[in-house]
Structure 1
């Protein structure tokens, strides 16, 4: 019986259009979440897929010893591709010349992602037996040999490497890289028991298989073995990908908040529409259980329709966007089930928790309302509605993001918006208290309307402000991220780096670049040294600790040290002052935290078997993602004066100036030249894809915000129609009503703009400091631009929607049913 009655009620109201608002809100919620999740995950998979070329695989296991073969067998069972390689240092000889090199011994599957770029390479060229592919500078260092000796065998210099996909960006790696076949290693006799060798196991495959393999293998790895993905480390691409993923996650999370606001507003309107129905049912003797069952089933039908339409809309949106994506992004397809499940969960959780309180009010409607229409439900624990709404938002946010910081930021912003709305509502009521129903001027009539509809206006302010907050937040973060990436990779970014510059070559090299009208960056001196003690306490390496030795943990390798008289551009002092005394040093914040040191602590370095003691004068934040030399420690010149050093510098050359590089090589044969132009091009490709992703998400957010504003404008039409009829009856002219309506919506839009800027600045402060690690800046332009834009936008929406009502006569208004 209840099912039949619920279906008849649903069918009748659907045909009459009375369910349009709540179905539209549910559809918008599911569409926003499903569409944003689908597009975001596709972009996320594409960005990670393109970025994985930087490590020549999707995942890597880095180990100082061979790993268990059963682990590798498990990867094969999951359908993952596998490439094995060894990395070690060795001397190569060509006649009387010799050079230390970094050897990469690889199998036939290398690389799994990207490709090795060779000079004058042929399609499908393979590394042959007893052949070497060598870095460009090695041939010059060995006087252009045709073959070299490695250990017990002679190997042919087969091809010159222009770029390795996983070559990285280590300017201090002074040893040239050579590639050889993995099955040639035994014949060299170089690798013996106890040799320092790095075993690399690279994997590529489906995202779900990689995730399953990661869950399987991580607990089995020792402390000396590392699981590496494209986001590991402080590389430029790692930072770009991490921030892009956080942005896409935040966009979807804000979409959920927007959807929650839309559903909460629609639920209020849904229940208000059914006050008379409940009163009539109670008058005819329906029990509370029957009424609960009826409206529970009715709401379930409404929710199912809204969810189904939202899912269809989300996938239609994805289908519409896919053809305009670049081919390298459109080729990737993210997981399909997660957006579907998230959309369904959003629809049902928000419909339940945002409708709970309005439904309680609905069920408590007294039967006497049949005779006295002004009667409403008794006030039942308003705080319960607030708590349930915040819990619903937090639950959905956590389900989607798994990020406590992002979830709390969104919920905190909503709480702040609620407090500001309460204050603004009080001010609006106070401003309109003495106005009453005066019709002497449009301003007086607009203020009177704001006062009479104070509760409804508060609800509308929630929708308008939420849409503007979402839009401003996404717009600001997108612009800040793009600006930072453009600063890191400007058009004239250095694409050539010079290392191993001898002190006596600094001035001739400077003169050379000036004579060729090439702008060179600062020259950085480089000295190798090891941190040996902190405050007189000797340090041990992680390897020593693993062997059972006791002591304070230090850094397991030599550091590249430099001196500077001024702070580098990509550094920022967090505490203390930059070096002023001879015995002072500036330390990078991450290293300071890892070592547990602070201002005034004494560090002891061992350089050329000599001890150098310095005091920490400052702690710096370093932008590691910039393609510039960065250092953990910066000394004064006096502190490092006794030691021999080499220098490094960088400059930018257009592709048409290649002859400058050749001339430089001839004049300075001992200076190593590293061409990072290809890496910069690849990085720019990643950044371009990320920019496309940010722009698409911004467009979707604008569309979602517009839909919420339109739905909000629609929500108050029934009440406004009745008031227009009354005002027309008392003689108000069409022009007066038109201006008053425009002003009322404009005031709501302006107030929404002020609230939105306040909440957005609060949210951006948290997001930039805790999530994106961006510099916090105030947006002064917003404080007048957002209210003006909000006033204009909301006034236009309101006037367009009310235009039909304003043209009707009093009789026509009274006959209308909305």
Structure 2
């Protein structure tokens, strides 16, 4: 019986359009989660996949010794592709010339991601047995021989390398690279017990298999073995990828929050519409159990319809967006199961938990409401509604993001937002009490309407302002991220590095750059030194710690140090004051954190067997992605100028810039002249890497725009839902005003002004809360520069007034055009 009645009620209300809002709200929530999950995961997988070309694999294990064979067996069980490489330094000889080189001995499957770039073009091949490929610098240093001697072997030099996919970016690594087959290493006789060798194990495969491999492999690694991926800091775009993923998760969570808010508003409206139905059913003798079953089944049918439509919409959204994605992104296809399950869970959880309290109020409607329509039954338990709503949002947020920190940030922000907006909104509306009693003109009538509906309008302000806050937050973060990446990689980002600049070449080099109108960075002196003590305590290495020695762990290698009188670009001071005295040093924040350094700690360095002590008086943030010379430690000139040094610099050079300067030479020709004039200076071309970085940043920018569009859609539905929520009360008021002779022009003007005032107040409050939310997010999550968005203080209230008044007038257009009798009949 209840099934049949629920089905008939569902069909009738669906046909009449009374269920449209709640079905749309559930549909949007499911569509947001399933569609955003699918799109975001595709973009995340694509971004990480493209970024993985910087390390030539998805995951890497870097080890000073051969790893436990169990690790490779696990990779085989998970169907992961893997390749073993070795890297070490050695001397090579060609005739009477010799040179220290970095030997990169690679396995057959190398590279797993990306391609080797030779001077003749890209290739997927490797050197043949007995052959080697050389970095172009090595050819110039040895006089371009046809072969060279490495240990007991003579290797034929068959090709010149322009770039290796995992070549990384280390301008301090002055030793050129020689690429050979791993099978040829034994014949050289170079690797002996005790030799310093890095074993590099590269892996690639399915995302789930990689995650499982990481879970099983990491516990088997010791302190000297490193797990590397594109976010581990070894990639030059690690920061960009991390921030992009955080943004995608945050934007998706905000989209879910907005969709849940729309469900909550729609559910309240749904229950209010059935107050009279419940009162009549109780009057006719229906039991509480029958009524609960009837409306439970009815709500279930509504929820299932919303879920089905939402899943279809999410699938169509993914298919539609895929058509506009670049082929390299569209080629990635994450699994459908997780987005599908997330969509279904979202529909069920949000519909139940956001509808629980309104449904309780609905079922508690007394039969006497048939005679006294102002009766609404249960008035307590709002705390339960808030708890269920926040619980639903937190649960859905965690299921989606799998990040407790990010989920709690959003939930706490929403809670604070709702509380603050409710208080401020109610106070500001009550301020119109005295002027709101007169209704002789549209403004006074609008203020009177705000006062009469003070409680309802305070709730509406929460909805309007929440949508605007989230929209402003997403817009600002997206723009700030894009601006940050643009600053890191502007059009004139350096594409050439000069290292090993001798002191006597500094002035002639500057003259050469000035002659060709090349704008270079400052020329930085580079001195290698080792940090030996902190606050007088001798530091130990990681290897010594593994061997059982106790003490403070330092940095197990020499550092590249520099000195300056002024702070370099992109090195903002976060603590202290930049070097004022000769015995002071400025420390990069990451190294300070790793070493446990605080301001005024003393540090002892050893350079050329000479020790000296300085005091850490400032800590800097360094933007390593700018592809400009950067250093962990910066001293005053008098602290280091007594030591031998070489220098380095970087510059941007392309054919267009040379033409603008009136030069007839190409960029390659100028670089060739530089190499010929300064044969001891190493020129490193990073142009290809800069181009690849820009391509990935473009893909990230596209993903931010797509997610922003979906959040815009969710914001619009919340605004519509809030406008819809007050229609019944407004209809009765319009009927009364029509009865007392109010003209159509007066009612239309007053209604428009009322919505405009609501929108303006919502916009103003949204700016206040958005600035606070952005401060928290930028400082705690995204590590971005905080600043005030002053234009918002004018634009947001005006935009809020325009948008809310347009939506309100559009929704009220039929009521405003009805006659007094029609309004009374409908009410």
| TM-score tier after normalising by the smaller chain length | over 0.9
Corresponding residue for 2:584?
Answer: 584
1:775 aligns with 2:785: yes
Find the aligned partners of 1:725 and 1:122 in 2 and give their Cα distance: 77
Corresponding residue for 1:130?
Answer: 130
Greater Cα offset, 82-91 or 395-404: 395-404
Q: CA deviation at 1:471?
A: 1.2
Corresponding residue for 2:119?
Answer: 119
Corresponding residue for 1:5?
Answer: 5
Find the aligned partners of 2:717 and 2:443 in 1 and give their Cα distance: 28
Corresponding residue for 2:42?
Answer: 42
Cα deviation per residue 1:95-117 (whole Å; 9 max; x = unaligned)? 11111111110122111111000
Corresponding residue for 1:31?
Answer: 31
1:627 aligns with 2:622: no
Q: TM-score, normalised by structure 1?
A: 0.97
Find the aligned partners of 1:108 and 1:219 in 2 and give their Cα distance: 28
Cα deviation per residue 1:597-621 (whole Å; 9 max; x = unaligned)? 2122111111111111111111112
Find the aligned partners of 1:255 and 1:303 in 2 and give their Cα distance: 19
Cα deviation per residue 1:303-361 (whole Å; 9 max; x = unaligned)? 11111111111111111111111111111112212222222222111112111211121
Corresponding residue for 2:822?
Answer: 812
Corresponding residue for 1:541?
Answer: 541
Q: Are the aligned partners of 2:228 and 2:234 in contact in 1 as well (CA < 8 Å)?
A: no
Corresponding residue for 1:203?
Answer: 203
Corresponding residue for 1:745?
Answer: 755
Corresponding residue for 1:363?
Answer: 363
Corresponding residue for 1:450?
Answer: 450
Q: Are the aligned partners of 2:93 and 2:99 in contact in 1 as well (CA < 8 Å)?
A: yes
Query: Secondary structure of 1:35's partner?
Result: helix
Find the aligned partners of 1:635 and 1:107 in 2 and give their Cα distance: 43
1:527 aligns with 2:537: no
Q: Are the aligned partners of 1:562 and 1:631 in contact in 2 as well (CA < 8 Å)?
A: yes
Cα deviation per residue 1:179-230 (whole Å; 9 max; x = unaligned)? 0001000000011121111111111111111112112211212221122111
Corresponding residue for 2:61?
Answer: 61
Query: Secondary structure of 1:604's partner?
Result: strand
How do 1:677-692 residues align onto structure 2 when only pairs under 5 Å count? 677-692=687-702
Find the aligned partners of 1:430 and 1:760 in 2 and give their Cα distance: 24
Find the aligned partners of 1:313 and 1:469 in 2 and give their Cα distance: 26
Q: CA deviation at 1:723?
A: 2.0
Query: Secondary structure of 1:775's partner?
Result: coil
Find the aligned partners of 1:438 and 1:812 in 2 and give their Cα distance: 26
Corresponding residue for 1:106?
Answer: 106
1:801 aligns with 2:811: yes
Query: Secondary structure of 1:301's partner?
Result: helix
Q: CA deviation at 1:396?
A: 1.5
How do 1:630-649 residues align onto structure 2 when only pairs under 5 Å count? 630-649=630-649
1:265 aligns with 2:265: yes
Find the aligned partners of 1:691 and 1:272 in 2 and give their Cα distance: 43
Q: Are the aligned partners of 2:22 and 2:267 in contact in 1 as well (CA < 8 Å)?
A: yes
Find the aligned partners of 2:650 and 2:360 in 1 and give their Cα distance: 70
Corresponding residue for 1:166?
Answer: 166
Q: Are the aligned partners of 2:587 and 2:620 in contact in 1 as well (CA < 8 Å)?
A: yes
Q: CA deviation at 1:438?
A: 4.6
Greater Cα offset, 459-468 or 479-488: 459-468
Q: Are the aligned partners of 2:244 and 2:700 in contact in 1 as well (CA < 8 Å)?
A: yes
Greater Cα offset, 200-209 or 403-412: 403-412
Q: Are the aligned partners of 2:147 and 2:154 in contact in 1 as well (CA < 8 Å)?
A: yes
Q: CA deviation at 1:434?
A: 4.3
Aligned residue pairs, count: 817
Greater Cα offset, 241-250 or 60-69: 60-69
Cα deviation per residue 1:271-326 (whole Å; 9 max; x = unaligned)? 11111122122222222222222222222221111111111111111111111111
Greater Cα offset, 421-430 or 656-665: 421-430
Change (3 A) 1:17 1:788: same
Query: Secondary structure of 2:384's partner?
Result: helix
Q: CA deviation at 1:235?
A: 3.8
Corresponding residue for 2:240?
Answer: 240
Q: Are the aligned partners of 1:88 and 1:198 in contact in 2 as well (CA < 8 Å)?
A: yes
Q: CA deviation at 1:456?
A: 2.9
2:705 is aligned, of 682, 695, 705, to 695
Query: Secondary structure of 1:236's partner?
Result: coil
Find the aligned partners of 1:15 and 1:280 in 2 and give their Cα distance: 22
Greater Cα offset, 413-422 or 481-490: 413-422
Q: Are the aligned partners of 1:80 and 1:209 in contact in 2 as well (CA < 8 Å)?
A: yes
Find the aligned partners of 1:109 and 1:743 in 2 and give their Cα distance: 70
Corresponding residue for 2:715?
Answer: 705
Q: CA deviation at 1:7?
A: 2.3
Greater Cα offset, 808-817 or 219-228: 808-817
Greater Cα offset, 361-370 or 701-710: 701-710
Find the aligned partners of 2:428 and 2:571 in 1 and give their Cα distance: 48
How do 1:365-444 residues align onto structure 2 when only pairs under 5 Å count? 365-434=365-434, 438-444=438-444
Find the aligned partners of 1:393 and 1:458 in 2 and give their Cα distance: 21
How do 1:244-393 residues align onto structure 2 when only pairs under 5 Å count? 244-393=244-393
1:140 aligns with 2:140: yes
Find the aligned partners of 1:271 and 1:522 in 2 and give their Cα distance: 69
Corresponding residue for 1:664?
Answer: 674
Find the aligned partners of 2:73 and 2:397 in 1 and give their Cα distance: 38
Cα deviation per residue 1:215-248 (whole Å; 9 max; x = unaligned)? 2211212221122111111643111111110110
Change (3 A) 1:610 1:425: closer
Segments of 5+ residues of structure 2 without an aligned counterpart are 656-665
Greater Cα offset, 618-627 or 44-53: 618-627
Query: Secondary structure of 1:754's partner?
Result: helix
Change (3 A) 1:575 1:124: closer
Q: Are the aligned partners of 2:422 and 2:461 in contact in 1 as well (CA < 8 Å)?
A: no
Find the aligned partners of 1:550 and 1:459 in 2 and give their Cα distance: 61
Q: Are the aligned partners of 1:22 and 1:267 in contact in 2 as well (CA < 8 Å)?
A: yes
Change (3 A) 1:765 1:405: farther
Find the aligned partners of 1:754 and 1:403 in 2 and give their Cα distance: 31
Query: Secondary structure of 1:625's partner?
Result: helix
Cα deviation per residue 1:34-84 (whole Å; 9 max; x = unaligned)? 222221111111111111100111111111111222321221232211111
Segments of 5+ residues of structure 1 without an aligned counterpart are none
Change (3 A) 1:336 1:453: same
Find the aligned partners of 1:494 and 1:435 in 2 and give their Cα distance: 64
Greater Cα offset, 251-260 or 464-473: 464-473
Q: CA deviation at 1:131?
A: 0.8
Q: Are the aligned partners of 1:498 and 1:674 in contact in 2 as well (CA < 8 Å)?
A: yes
Find the aligned partners of 1:595 and 1:70 in 2 and give their Cα distance: 33
Q: Are the aligned partners of 2:425 and 2:761 in contact in 1 as well (CA < 8 Å)?
A: no
Corresponding residue for 1:786?
Answer: 796
Query: Secondary structure of 1:571's partner?
Result: coil
Q: Are the aligned partners of 1:622 and 1:630 in contact in 2 as well (CA < 8 Å)?
A: yes
Find the aligned partners of 1:572 and 1:431 in 2 and give their Cα distance: 46
Find the aligned partners of 1:491 and 1:93 in 2 and give their Cα distance: 41
Query: Secondary structure of 2:572's partner?
Result: strand
Q: TM-score, normalised by structure 2?
A: 0.96
Corresponding residue for 2:661?
Answer: none
Cα deviation per residue 1:453-512 (whole Å; 9 max; x = unaligned)? 233323322322222112111110010011111111111111111000111110111111
Q: Are the aligned partners of 1:428 and 1:450 in contact in 2 as well (CA < 8 Å)?
A: no
